[in-house]
Each structure stands twice: as C-alpha cells, then as structure tokens.
Structure 1
Amino acid sequence: MTLKQLAMDERSRFPRAAETTEQAFYTDDLIYGAHSIEEGCSMVTELQDLLHAGGFKLRKWAFNEPSILKRLSEKMNREQNQQIFTFKGDPISKTLGVYWNPKEDCFMFQSSFDFSNKTTKRALLSDISKLFDPLGWLAPAITAKKIIFQEIQSLIPLSKGSIESGLPKQYLVNIVQSKDSIVKEIIENCSSFSRAKRERHLTLAEVKEAKWKIISQVQEEEFSYEIEKLRRKESIHKSKLIALNPFLGKDGLLRVGGRLRNAFISEDMQHPIIISHAGRLTDLIIDQAHKLTFHSGPRLTLSLIRQKYWIVGSNRAVKRQLRLCVTCVKNNPRLQYQLMGDLPEARCNPVRPFKHTGVDFTGFIMIKSSKGRGMKCTKGYIAVFICMATKAVHLEVVSDLTTSAFLADLKRIRLEGPKCTVPGSSGGRNNRRFVDYLIFTTSV
C-alpha cells in the first residue's frame, strides 16, 4: 500500500516509473524488463528518483546486460559515493519459485525426485507437485504427468502400500485397456458410469470407444449364447430375449429389434442397447440417470434410461437401486407413527343408532328469531351429534352455549328419535357441565 500511494503521489513527475511500481513490484522485489539499453537505463533512473522521494533505496540490481550495471555503478559512485551491491556466489536469482540466470538470460526450474524409498501414491503426487509453475510455462509437461498418473491409478488400484516396480516405462506411457480383467476392474472400482469412461482429458472419440468396450465386454459375459447365435446368423431358442427380437448393430452391440425403424427418432431410441438385469454396469447406468433427473422417481429415471438402454426387468432393477440412494433416503425418511390404544366398548359392539353418541359444536352462525324487516340477527351454534357405532350424524341448532340450551336440544332429539345415553364430548367447560348433569340425573 505504501508503494502504491507513493506512485499515486508522484505520477505527475514520473509517469512510467509510477505505472511500473504499481504493476511490477512483488512485496519488495521488482521484476521488469526493457526493449533496449537506453530504455532500461532511463527506467532505472526514474525508479530511483521516484522511490528516493519516499525515502526508499533500490539495491541488489541484476541485469542480463553488463553495460547497464556498469553505468549504474559509475553513476552511484559519482553522485552518492556509494557502491552497488553485488551478489556473492551463485548469480542465479529466484522470485516466485522461478530461477533466472542473468548471465545466460534463461529461466530454470529445479525439482528433485527420490527413488530410494518405495513408490507410493503419496510419493508420486508429491513429486509431481514439486514443480511450482505460477506462469504456466511447464503446463504441457505437468499435465502429461498427471494424465499418466490417472491412467496408472485406473489400471492399478493404489493403496497406502507401494506400487509394483515391475511395470516397464513404455507401459506407463502407452496404456492399452484391452484385457477383460482390466475392464472388470474399472467397472467395479468406479463410482459412476462417467468416471468409468474417464471423460476428463479424453477426446469424444476416446470416450465413445471406452463406452463401447465396457458395454461389449459386459454383453459378452451376460449374453454369450445369444451373441454367438446371431454372429452365426442362426435363430435363437430358449432365451429370455426372444420377445425383444435382438440383433447385432453396426457397432457389434446387442440391441432391441422392435418396429420403430421408420420413426423420426435417434438410432439409440429406435434400437436401445440391451443390458442385463443385475450387474455393476446396470447399477452405474441407473445411478447416472437418477442423478441427471435430480433424484426423481422410478418412472422418470426409467424413461431417461430407455432413450439409450433397455434393461431386462428394468422396473425391479430401477426400484431396487433407488432404494439404495442415500440422498433420497435422507430427504424422504419413513415417518414413525405412534400406536393407538384400544377402541372403547361403545365403538366396537353393534347397538341401535345414537345409543352412544359424541357431541361437539361448530363455530357461531348468525340466525334470526323470526321473519320480517328490521329483525336483528343473533349468534347461534350448530350441535353435531355423531353415533359412535354407525358414524351417523345429526345436526341441531342451539341458541347459545349454555347448559340449559344444550339440555333443551337433547330433549328434542329424544322426543323425535331414539333415546341416547350419556354422550361423549370435547373438553369444553359447558360440555363438562352438561355431562356431569346427565351423569347426576341418571344416577338419581
């Protein structure tokens, strides 16, 4: 911040030096260059004058042109009677991890590899990371090393132990994934179908070839009888794929026949690739479609899968795999309900209607005592009588919530229909009063 403020204050006097101070200083190191000796000497003079205005002195100069250093030394001896600081020993300068040799005017990178101990995953990553390249000059070489390391990791599962040192160097660079065991190992060790195809650092053609190789290997294991018959151009008997009318496509994969050859859809949708009901590849394909549909249900997941693949027994396979999705289980947990107690006697045994009743009141309603103009409306309520045995409902209008009004309503019910016993009710104060009253009159 101090150097930036100094550059802002002295910009009118030293415009070039101010811009260089703002852009070319890294902490207390200045890294700058010029296109000619005269331009370099002029910039050195401006930088010295600019920083001298703030009380700073530049020392430890390094140039790839000795004449500039000689001129600077003569000027300092003549004006300030000082000697320029010279480096002792190795003339190589180091800034931000990059080595610069002024004498030869070249940049260098230093890295050491230790092969005395066992080669482990951690050791390989450490050696690759030792090359510090902030400007990206060594990006092609570092990227190549990382790609080789990924390919080795995909072929040989790396653990905390050591890697077998018997692999030839050419095999580490030119990796061939043609053996059946390698394809099986890739499918078993990868957590998704995309990683099994190694979509990163590969071209589209290489990704398609890896996909074809994986599916072809799995079909050879699961449907060897059908593929052999179709290659010989013989009819298939006693196979679970007869209903699908299978055939070998142009790519050599087993596909569904069907009747959609003239439909205006893609070839994969016309003739999907047949996949077995169970297997690691089936699980990876279902997981990929499930994530692409944002953890949807079995129907939407299966709809996306059938645009390219036809899984034998797909409904059961998709439901089985979706039950193992941790994200769906966390977001849709199974709710636990409390066990209810036994039903009372009045609700379990058959009796005549409204022998045992429950009662409750609705919210208030506005009622008129008679017809005519100018009649005022008063609050009223509706009493709901429910038969505990048959669930029949009887409604009565009540003028208010007093015990006397409810008893009058109950007498009207008994006169019109069957006599009911002591009703069950909610815990309202008025309800408790008339229930207590009915219990008292009944006992008397």
Structure 2
Amino acid sequence: MQEFMTTLSLMADLVGILLRFRQCKIGINADITKMFLQIELHPEYQDVTRFVWRKQGEEMPRIYWFCRLPFGLCCSPILAMSAFQDLAVNHRTKYPETATEVLRNMYFELSKWSCNCSDVLSSTPQTEVTTNCSKALGMNWEHSTDTFQFPVPSESEIASGNTKRSLLSVVFEIFEILGCLSPFVVRVKILLQRLWQQGIDWDETLPPPEESMWQNYRSEVMSLSRISVPRCITPGKPRRKFELHAFCDAPDSAYGSVVFLMTVCIDGEISSRIVMSKSRVAHLQINLRSRQAQKPETRLRHWPFLNLQLSRHEREFAELTVEELDKAENFWLLTVQREAFEKELAAVQSGRNPESKLARFNPYLDENGLLRVGGRLQNSDMDAERKHPILLPSTHLVMMLLIKRVHERSLHAGTEQTLTDLRQRFWVLKGRSSVKRIVRQCRICKKQSARPYESIMNELPIDRVAVAAPFERIGIDFAGPVFIKMRNNHTAQNTRTLYSDFFVTALPHHFRVRLAVVRPANQVSLGLRVRMFIDIRYTCMVTRAIHLELVTPMTMEQFLNAFHRFAARRGYLVLVQSDNFKTFKQADQELRAQLSENQLSEIRDALTVNRIKWKYITERAPWNGGYWERIVPTVKESLKKVLGNTRMKEDELRTVLCEREARINSRPLTFVGDYPNDPNPLTP
C-alpha cells in the first residue's frame, strides 16, 4: 500500500507552469494522450484498485479492478513518472542516447493542440487542433481574445438545495489557481464557517439569515462565467521596466493578498495586470484583532504630492521658481548640518563656542539657521557668502552631490579649480580630499584623461646583456652627407649617394652589407671644390659607446678599408647589426648592376675570413635597432648647432667628429647626484 500513498510529486508545480505560460505573447497548449493508461499495474497491486459497478439499478453489482494505472489516484503522477524514469535508467547502457532523450523530454504523444496565433499551428492537422476555446491548466482559454475564463457550476447544480452540503459542493466546484475569484469564494467560505459554528448538519436547511446570504451568493455565481482575465501579463510594446506591487489585508473574518505586475513601456504607457491572489478564512481560535501590530505614533510635517497620480493633461510642468529652489536648498543644507553637527549647533544656539574641530572657524548661525564660518573678514567688501561660507561635513551624500554639481558646472575642471569654485559658497571639512575623490570618480574625466595602454617591454636580447668587450658587438648605421670645402680651380662635382644592401650568401644566414655608391651629377664651375663625406656610426650594444668614422664618397674598397680601420682600432668583432629600410633595397638593384661578380665575392670573402657575423634586423621593426637610433639625435643636433651651414675642411671636420665622439662617450648613463658624497655617474 505504500506505493499508492500520496508522496513527493515529480511533476512541475502547476502554479509555476501557469505563471510562465502568462509571460509570453504567444501561448501553445497541448494534452498528453493516455499517459496513465500506458502504465500497467503489477498483478499484486491490482486488487487495491477494485471497484463495484452495475449497469442497471436492480442488477447485482459486479467487482472490477484496474489493470492499468487509473487517473484518479493521488499517486498516479509520481508512479507514471517513476516508471518512465526507471525504464530509461535501466536501458541507459544499451541505448544511451534514447535514454537521455526520454529522461529529458519524455516523448509522450500530444494532441488537442491550441494556440492564440493561427500561424503557429498552420502545419498541424486540423483534426489535432482545438479551435475557439480549450482547457488550459484547469481554466477555459479563449484563443481569439487570449483570455482566461473560469468554469462555474451549472444553474441546476446551484439550485439543488439550501443545505450545507449543496453550499460546499458549489464552492469546491469552482477551480481556479490564479485566485481571481477569491473575493467571491472567500465570502462563501466565511458563510460555511459560520454554519459550522452554529452546528448546522449537512442536510439541514439553512437558518433564515444564512439562507438569505446564500441566495445572494447563488445569484452571483452565474455572473462569474462572464469574468475574463488576460492570459499575457506583459504588453506587446517595447518595455522599459517592470514593477511588482503586492497588497494584503487581514480583517477579523479572513485575510488575503494580491500581486500586480506594472509594466512601463518606452513610449510612457503604463499597464498593470493581476498576477495572482490568495485568500484564507481566519482561524476560529486565533483573534486577529489581538495580533495587530502597535506602530508608534508619527507626526508628519510634510506630505509629498505625487504628480504621477494626475492624468497627463492635469499635471503641472511649470519650472521651479528661484524662491522654491532656495527653499529646497536650505532644507537639505539644514538637514545635513543637523545630522553632522548636532552638538555644535546646540552649543552655538546656547551662545557657547563648540568644543570640537569647528571651534577654529568661529561659527555662527545666520537668519536661516545655517552654520557659517565666522572668520575675520566682517569689514571686507566681499560678498557675504564668500566671507562666511556654509560649513559642511566631509562625508555626506548631499555634500558629494553638491561637489559633483560644482565640478560639472566648472566644465569638469581639476581639483584646485573645483575646490576654488566650491569655496565661493561652501566650506567643506577636508575639502581637498573630498573634491579629489569626486573628480577621480567622474566618468567623463576618466574617459577624457585616460592614458593609452603601455605595453610591457620585452626582455633585452642576449647580445645586449651578455658580458663582452667594448665594440665586440656593434650596430652600424650611416649618416650624412656632410659637405666640406677645398680650394680648387677645377670644376666642382656635386655627388649623390645611394645606399645599398645585398645578401652575403657565403654565411649560414643571409646577412646584408650596406655600401654607398657615388654617382656624378651636373657639372658646376666654382672657385671651391665641394666634396661630400659619409659619416658611419658604430654603436656598442653593451657599453653604449660610439665610434664615428668619416669616409670620402665610397666605393667598395673604401667601405672595406673604413670597416677594417674600425676593427683594427677597436678590437676583435663578433657581431655587426644594421637596420632595414626599403630605400636600401631600391639602391641594391643599382649596386648589383654596377658591381661585378668578382667584387661581390671579394666582399663575402672579407667577412668570412674575419669571422664576422652580419645580422640584419627584422623588417618593419625599427625598435630592434633602438640602441643606435637613440644616438642619431644626439649626434645630429650637436653637429647642427656647431656647424650650421658652415662648409669645413676635411681635417677640421674629422677633428669635430672626434671631439663629439669623446663627449658622447663621456655622457652619464646613470643619475647624477646633488651631493658631494654621491657616487660618480656611470659613463660608456
């Protein structure tokens, strides 16, 4: 018998299903076909479902029993659900996908489809579609109007008698979960409770007072069928917000509650729909009057008026006057001071100096009762508000809003400007920190003053940080041209330099070597011969020292000789690194056209014999050569300041470059201290 007792339900809550059914604009309803009758009862339990039946009145009754799960048992839902779940679990190993789908969706055959939108069921056979009205969770659902209607007893059932039995039968035939008929049902329940108090029997005729009340209720029952409630509780327009409003009341005889959903649309339209209502008859042994809460007496000084209670054409939209704004501002300032400076206000009102941090301001009360700074500027020609600003605390919501308004009116100025504008009327304790906090929280200021993202620098290459001798690993770059003057009566020849780089295929990797080719231009007759020199910069990767080499218009032999001179003077070379530009690639084509294969082979042999690795930085990544690019402005700016447009002799120019090289190699790489005992700065 335990299997047939009422136990925990595995089915979804009916109230929750109904509330979710009312949320969407389109609703779909269907009925499960013969769910319980598909579950066969074990022969051991079939005797429990026996019942007596006879076809005619005088015929001997016969005993029948159910072979399948009947609809009327309290345990039928959980037995049906458990049977299908156990069936799926027991066959999960053999049919895993099917078992999962059965546990998730059950897959019962559905019929009697209904929907408030005809297009949704256009592909469903008409024999399986219910038109006009259908049953939905115990209520009548009218598809055309999308409303719920409530089934009520027939007129013959209502007029069956005036007894307590007939009254109870009528009340409990009204089934509706939403509670929309609670105002009627609760009155009949109160009448039924009164009959129990009087000891009226089930089939006894009602007393005249109660019978008169019952006659009035019976006349109202038939009108309940005309009540309709919208199924969808949300309007079809775009919505801005939802609000739930709950109301409850508890008189002596019963108590009830109701919940409404108020929807505010984007266009300003407001709609409210009833969500649910509940009512109960008061217990006979509980006196609700004795359980009323004793609330303290409250005296209201102000009764706010809600302009929204009026219709749209009755509302007042006039602007506030200056007097109204001043009055409202004084009210909030007084409220803030009473909350923050309660003891100080009492001391000043009694004629004493407050014994707190406000004593140094020598405060006093003005004609509006506001606490102001006294100070020593009474005889000044300044405005009264600037001489005696209003005192305000450092932490209060009104004060924070006030600082925010001043900050916005000062066009989102900084801390100092906002604090200056604020002190034209108000003196905020710890004003600077308060203003700084508001300015820091301003979203507009954050957005406009935001700094770009600073990427984290990658680790330095091993060639830059490994211990090495000076100029063992270098970066090479070209600068120029630099023009010099030479006394000569012959024709001066202007020259143009083309930089070029080509691949050294003899090495394991393709390293590029840069050369410069001097090509003659137009012939000009001058008293001076102008000759162009190229400045080659060698920068040490480790020590950051530099070497400047001046060469005449270059040929292949001159470039190699300049490179050998540097290596001979600075020591053994391991790695040479140079930059990468597209202009050098264009010049490379001209260089290859002019140099023969023997000359290219000679350059490759020179690098290979000296075991020098020539490395080319990544294309379009000039930051790889940042350690020599940083030297470019240092060299060029100093030469421009010293030389300007002056044409120097070759010997003078070499001297200037050597002096500049010495100065750059003596530059401090670390911080220069201000005290004699500080260590000397580190230099290349």
TM range (shorter): 0.3 to 0.5
The structure whose Rg is larger is 2
Structure that is richer in strand per residue: 2
